[in-house]
Structure 1
Amino acid sequence: MNTPTPEMLAEKILRGVGGPENIESLTHCATRLRFQLHDGSKADQAALDALDGVMGTVPQSGDRFQIVIGGAVAGVYSDIMNLPSMTGGGTPRPQSDAEVKAEIRAKGRGRFAWLDNFFEYLSDSFRPLLGVLLGASLIIAIASMLDAFGVVDFRAADKSATWVFVDSMWRSVLYFLPIMVAYNAAKKLKIDPWVGATVMAAVMTPNFTGMIGSKTPGVTTTTNATLGTSESVAHVFGLPMQLNDYGGQVFVPLLMVALLALVYKGLKRVFPENVQMVFVPFFSMLIMIPMTAFLIGPMGIWAGNGLGTGLSWLNGNAPIVFAIVIPLLYPFLVPLGLHWPLNALMLVNINTLGYDFIQGPMGAWNFACFGATAGVLLLSIRHREKDMRQTATGALAAGLLGGISEPSLYGIHLRFKRIYPRMLAGCLVGGLIVGILGGVDTKAFAFTSLLTIPVFDPMIKYIIAISAAFFTSMALVYFSDYRTKEERAQVNDERDAAEAAAKGEVAVPARTVPAEERELVAVGAAPAVATGGSASAGSVGADVPAARKGLELAAPVAGRVIGLGEVEDPVFASRALGEGVGIEPADGHVVAPVDGELVTVAETGHAFGIRTTDGTEVLVHIGIDTVKMNGKGFDVRVEAGRKVSTGDLLAEVDLGAVRAAGYSTVTLMTVLNTADMASVEPHTGQDVTAGAPVVTVRR
């Protein structure tokens, strides 16, 4: 099947979400387009899931809708935003008082809408940082590899200026992470993100952190002889303020911005619009910086430490249970975006304990995921599945080199229900090995990929665990297949048909052609293709001279003309029913594309067979799988045996009813006896009216 151009994919996605008028806003993350729609019910999830280039869709509460693209998401986002109809970037419309009140009430719909919003807040605060976190983890991995080979002592206290500088390249991300998270969180809550960043930065300045353990007047430092820890308290305006190093903290900015949003929006209601630029940020800082230093900061550190301590207790007292639970949880958390809290705890552990114990078991999940993808890749090579081979290759590269699981999950695993149990077996095996061997730690936040293996300790235990997870999942998927026997047989038949069509031959088993198509093929010559373009025995029109003026076939409907390779039906796409075109209809007015006799009119009204006087067999097929509608929405205006002229009305079709039933409305027109012709030339990539020439047939 031909891959649609970026512009075509962008247009199809736009139509699938209900058109530009249904889009309030559009953003994207590392793998997904994130739509805020006016009416989420208008999104055609089935049509979007079926698009080449779309890995999956995720409808959410509050009319939010996600489309998973993978690594090409930035390009698809750009293509959509560059469409003429998206010049405004979305269409927020004026709302009446009643609509505003209804919208506020609607925000509470759904039993778990608040939980969905909470995790959206967490996810959107971290997701934009995916690239720099990955970059930092790879720098750490390279430094760790050099340390393993004895080139440099990565953990030495007296490193040279060169390696101190290298350290700063990755520490910049982890240390200043609170400021970055605060910026994203504020942006998510629709307040000035720079105010959020400024409030967090205030308690991370050298002036603030320099007071910790210092002899500054008003600062008292006490030491806990039992734990060997020290605590500094500054007396500011006569009030005690606990001093903490907030570098690397994530709970503090999340808590702070949640309160800041209330303060900021409250101040906007107090001050007139013409002075908000000055006074809203000013009072926000005046209120929230002391609030963060005195209250939110210590609370955030306490909360993070408490969660980390709880997991540390489980890891220390039931390490096997902990090592098994973590990899078995992640396959269900990641698709929902619920894994970010655990990722935040990893950062807390590194900041407070100096190491993290979650990432080791998590590696078992990631490599089980990548192993399942490798099994799919091997099967796609074995069965010559070009599209799946391309998908699996890209997903496996993103996983093994970048530690990113979303392309595998959305591109493959969530589409085939047989994969998950086999992947979970790999997670179980890998987690069990981590637990039995005593756990695996790391002193760095690292995406679990091949490149970051050296940051885990003990490295040999980690390698054994992830290898077992990888090869267990790969073997189970490969030897038991990710498709059922029936699905495999059908896919292989369709592959054989496509390969035969590409070679100029048709080798389509009768059962791969739907019954209604077989009936229509019988209008004259069967669409068997003979090599060299000669007529097959018994074909209609075989006595017509080979050289003749081209016959123009007109568009049966108005709309956009596409090639059969872009049609989401393997029989038509393989040209088993002859060469021709598909048209994405602008309306349901269907007319005759050529002069001739109506040899067949399907009882369901979805297809018509026409034979011209010189024996050209033309099939008009309205929609894909629309035979299952049993005529509902199809108003047929002709009967079999009737003579028709180009432009005569064949049927009126309710396209809305077709879409509502979940079927594609693309209208197909093919020349059934293509093999008898010297050439059948489709004219694609144009917008046409009904009756405009779209195919030239030459004998």
Structure 2
Amino acid sequence: MSTAQDILKAVGGPDNIVSLTHCATRLRFQLVDASAINQTEVESIKGVMGAVPQAGERYQIIMGGAVQNAYNDINALPEMQTRREPTDAELKAAARAGGVRGRFAWVDSFFEFLSDSFRPILGALLGASLFITFMSLMSTLGVIGNWADPRVELPVGWQFVNLLWQSVFIFLPLMVAYNASKKVGADPWVGFAVMALVMLPGFSALGTSDAAYTATIAGSDVTLVDIFGVPLTIFSYNSQVFPPLLMAGILGPLYKLLKKIIPENLQLIFVPFLAMLIMLPLTAFLIGPIGVFLGAWVAGGLGAINAFSPLIFAIIIPLAYPFMVPLGLHWPLNAVMLLNIQQLGYDFIQGPMGVWNFACFGATAGVLYISWRGKDVQMRQTATGALAAGLLGGISEPSLYGIHLRFKRIYPRMLIGCLVGGLIIGIGGTLTSQVTTNAFVFTSLLTIPAFSNIGLYAISVVAAFVTSMVLVIIFDYRTPEQKAAAQRSSADDEAATAEPRVIVVGDVESNQSKQWVAALGGEANIVALEPVAETRVRVEVNDSSAVDVEALRRAGVQGVVEASPGVWHLIAGLEAAQYAEGMRRRVASVQPA
């Protein structure tokens, strides 16, 4: 079967899918029932770099740069064309389940809103960043003048080339408005139209009319014009992202309210009309200016830290990013970078951010080396795809979700790489000049020419990469027990088949497996074990009286049943295969071969 068919089968078939979307690296499933998914089976599929079960019947499969093709291939399968549509009850249950996110649900929802507002346009942003890199390279080589300086007039041909990236970044607010409005359940084209108002040439022209005047607001001089006696602030909204996010945050609840109070047979006309009637002037007069000032306030705060000590700033950013990215906290910083470029003409955050990215990729390179040396086919496949996505695209999610967050020993090594790179870029920037860039780019190998003080930037990211890689190679990313068991398992698999495969057991499963083995009477009491029926671990023991049922339950076993004398079934859930493998490796590493 193809990869698409394997994935479809692993998630329960087409009738189990409520919806399927994707981001830059992951397939995102909303399922009718996610309890039957075999995690090990999913992660063993060719091309899959990892899987992320989530609350509320949601399930994500990491595909790296191949995610778009995988998404298209799944939707093109004949089974998907004839699949049963979910019932209203299933859709409502999925919607209710989607809200189960823990104690602070609004925090999760907020960061998911930010992420989904940007993720669909990552491809366009990445493409535009490569155009920017090309222009920077041509300027560095002396082929053209400073492309980022509006006072420098480029030859007409190069003016056109310089427009290629601007088509994305100038109209970025419209893209964000569309995605954000869609995320909150409003008509995305209404959100697009509302944001488009403040980007019209005619809107900007109001600031040059005879009625325009200047006033000081929040310490800044702004242009105002009175509209029927109400002051309207005129800004350039090019590349702004805070205003469309705020606009969508209000448009969503408004849309739901209008749908409640307007009869269904009139909603097609009057819901969008009334939403636009309210949101168009509200955005122009209030939401838009608030968004601009909010972005300026955040950017000003970071700028103050950087002005106080570029060295401290260069250390904080790389050390903070490994914790910000998994939580989605990096999206607001991306917005600040765009704002810095618009207002200052350059950005000072992306240089230190590049240090973190390359430390992340270096750790992945270390894992790749170890998996290649140890003949761990599955991890080698995961690390290869993650490293390619990082070095060529500047995307860290495949490394984080596919590898780093699963093995706790990686983060300390990666953080040392961040610190080394941050110290180099910070000290070097203090002695010479700070690393900046004139445009928003993804920090990859291909975009290095987009940075000023390119030598310092290159040295810092190489140092971060090499430090993390070497530390992972020397000290490994697994515990000694995991390492020994993986080596033994790899040797056993190699003797049994030409294509060895090792089930990846994370630290959580490894620790719990150790407790389960102890509760079963220790390694010497276990005769055999294997996963059965997808959710259980079958264990044969020498002496059933040595089995501590209460200790097993305290250690996380959902149920314990003695199926026959000396044969116990441990109900472990969807991670049964991982727990069984963890227990097997524990027994194998202690008992003589």
Query: TM bucket by the smaller chain?
Result: 0.7 to 0.9
Which of 135, 158, 169 pairs up with 1:163? 158
Which of 233, 241, 248 pairs up with 2:224? 233
Report if the CA contact (8 A) 2:31-2:94 is conserved: no
* Change in CA separation of 1:263 and 1:88 when aligned onto 2, cut-off 3 Å: farther
* Change in CA separation of 1:490 and 1:658 when aligned onto 2, cut-off 3 Å: closer
Q: Distance in 2 between matches of 1:494 and 1:299?
A: 59
1:285-434 to structure 2, matched below 5 A, reads: 285-434=276-425
Question: What one-letter code is carried by the residue in structure 1 that aligns with 2:476?
Answer: D
For 2:211, the equivalent position in structure 1 comes to 218
Question: Aligned to 2:111, what secondary structure does the other structure show?
Answer: helix
* Change in CA separation of 1:89 and 1:164 when aligned onto 2, cut-off 3 Å: farther
Q: Normalising by the residue count of structure 1, what TM-score does the alignment of the two structures yield? A: 0.69
For 1:144, the equivalent position in structure 2 comes to 136
Question: What one-letter code is carried by the residue in structure 1 that aligns with 2:298?
Answer: L
For 1:134, the equivalent position in structure 2 comes to 126
Question: What one-letter code is carried by the residue in structure 2 that aligns with 1:163?
Answer: W
Question: Aligned to 1:158, what secondary structure does the other structure show?
Answer: coil
Is 1:172 aligned to 2:167, yes or no? yes
* Change in CA separation of 1:383 and 1:334 when aligned onto 2, cut-off 3 Å: same
* Change in CA separation of 1:305 and 1:481 when aligned onto 2, cut-off 3 Å: same
- 1:337 positional shift: 2.7
Q: Distance in 2 between matches of 1:44 and 1:496?
A: 25
1:273-288 to structure 2, matched below 5 A, reads: 273-288=264-279
Report if the CA contact (8 A) 2:404-2:410 is conserved: yes
Q: Distance in 2 between matches of 1:664 and 1:364?
A: 34
- 1:405 positional shift: 1.2
* Change in CA separation of 1:184 and 1:316 when aligned onto 2, cut-off 3 Å: same
Question: What one-letter code is carried by the residue in structure 2 that aligns with 1:143?
Answer: M
Which of 576, 579, 591 pairs up with 1:662? 576
Q: Distance in 1 between matches of 2:572 and 2:77?
A: 26
Question: What one-letter code is carried by the residue in structure 2 that aligns with 1:218?
Answer: A
1:505-520 to structure 2, matched below 5 A, reads: none
Q: Normalising by the residue count of structure 2, what TM-score does the alignment of the two structures yield? A: 0.80
- Give the 4+ runs in structure 1 shifted more than 6 A: 99-106, 565-570, 603-607, 620-625, 629-634
Which of 2, 6, 14 pairs up with 2:3? 6
Question: Aligned to 2:11, what secondary structure does the other structure show?
Answer: helix
- 1:373 positional shift: 1.7
* Change in CA separation of 1:124 and 1:211 when aligned onto 2, cut-off 3 Å: same
Report if the CA contact (8 A) 2:363-2:468 is conserved: yes
- 1:604 positional shift: 9.1
Report if the CA contact (8 A) 1:10-1:76 is conserved: no
Stretch of structure 1 that moved more, 337-346 or 249-258: 337-346
Q: Distance in 2 between matches of 1:240 and 1:661?
A: 61
State how many pairs are aligned: 535
Question: Aligned to 2:419, what secondary structure does the other structure show?
Answer: helix
Q: Distance in 2 between matches of 1:140 and 1:240?
A: 38
Report if the CA contact (8 A) 1:140-1:444 is conserved: yes
Q: Distance in 1 between matches of 2:579 and 2:479?
A: 29
Which of 173, 181, 184 pairs up with 2:179? 184
Q: Distance in 2 between matches of 1:359 and 1:420?
A: 21
For 1:481, the equivalent position in structure 2 comes to 476
Report if the CA contact (8 A) 2:535-2:571 is conserved: no
Question: What one-letter code is carried by the residue in structure 2 that aligns with 1:626?
Answer: V
For 2:461, the equivalent position in structure 1 comes to 466
Q: Distance in 2 between matches of 1:21 and 1:370?
A: 38
Q: Distance in 2 between matches of 1:267 and 1:291?
A: 16
Q: Distance in 2 between matches of 1:624 and 1:293?
A: 56
- 1:100 positional shift: 6.6
- 1:73 positional shift: 2.1
1:33-48 to structure 2, matched below 5 A, reads: 33-38=27-32, 45=39, 48=42
CA-based RMSD: 3.7
Report if the CA contact (8 A) 1:606-1:622 is conserved: no
Q: Distance in 2 between matches of 1:259 and 1:664?
A: 44
Which of 115, 130, 136 pairs up with 1:123? 115
* Change in CA separation of 1:606 and 1:140 when aligned onto 2, cut-off 3 Å: closer
* Change in CA separation of 1:223 and 1:658 when aligned onto 2, cut-off 3 Å: closer
Is 1:446 aligned to 2:441, yes or no? yes
Q: Distance in 2 between matches of 1:105 and 1:622?
A: 26
Question: What one-letter code is carried by the residue in structure 2 that aligns with 1:267?
Answer: L
Report if the CA contact (8 A) 2:490-2:501 is conserved: no
Is 1:627 aligned to 2:541, yes or no? no
Q: Distance in 2 between matches of 1:412 and 1:480?
A: 16
Q: Distance in 1 between matches of 2:577 and 2:100?
A: 32
Q: Distance in 2 between matches of 1:104 and 1:402?
A: 36
Question: Aligned to 1:355, what secondary structure does the other structure show?
Answer: coil
Is 1:68 aligned to 2:42, yes or no? no
Report if the CA contact (8 A) 1:380-1:389 is conserved: yes
Q: Name the structure, 1 or 2, with higher relative contact order (CA <8 Å, separation 6+).
A: 2
Report if the CA contact (8 A) 2:38-2:534 is conserved: no
Q: Deviation string for 1:47-82 (max 9, x for gaps)? A: 645655443333445543323222222333344445
Report if the CA contact (8 A) 1:623-1:664 is conserved: no
Report if the CA contact (8 A) 2:536-2:571 is conserved: no
Q: Which runs of 5+ in 1 are unaligned?
A: 504-564, 571-602, 608-619, 640-650, 667-699
Report if the CA contact (8 A) 2:360-2:399 is conserved: yes
Q: Distance in 2 between matches of 1:315 and 1:206?
A: 35
- 1:376 positional shift: 2.2
Q: Deviation string for 1:103-155 (max 9, x for gaps)? A: 76994762111000000100000000100100011100011011101011123
For 1:682, the equivalent position in structure 2 comes to none
- 1:29 positional shift: 0.9
Quote the sequence identity (%).
Answer: 51
Q: Distance in 2 between matches of 1:168 and 1:102?
A: 44
Which of 170, 192, 196 pairs up with 1:201? 196
Question: Aligned to 1:249, what secondary structure does the other structure show?
Answer: coil
Question: Aligned to 2:285, what secondary structure does the other structure show?
Answer: helix
Report if the CA contact (8 A) 2:537-2:576 is conserved: no
- 1:287 positional shift: 1.5
Q: Deviation string for 1:281-315 (max 9, x for gaps)? A: 22222211111110011100000000000000011
Q: Distance in 1 between matches of 2:417 and 2:121?
A: 29
Q: Which runs of 5+ in 2 are unaligned?
A: 505-525, 545-559, 581-593
Q: Distance in 1 between matches of 2:416 and 2:86?
A: 47
Is 1:457 aligned to 2:452, yes or no? yes
- 1:470 positional shift: 1.0
1:601-680 to structure 2, matched below 5 A, reads: 626-628=537-539, 659=573, 662-663=576-577
Question: What one-letter code is carried by the residue in structure 1 that aligns with 2:398?
Answer: P
Report if the CA contact (8 A) 2:537-2:571 is conserved: no
Question: What one-letter code is carried by the residue in structure 2 that aligns with 1:132?
Answer: A
* Change in CA separation of 1:388 and 1:198 when aligned onto 2, cut-off 3 Å: same
- 1:235 positional shift: 1.2
- 1:332 positional shift: 1.6
* Change in CA separation of 1:362 and 1:498 when aligned onto 2, cut-off 3 Å: same
* Change in CA separation of 1:287 and 1:7 when aligned onto 2, cut-off 3 Å: closer
Q: Deviation string for 1:303-359 (max 9, x for gaps)? A: 000000000001111322221111111112222333211111111111122211111
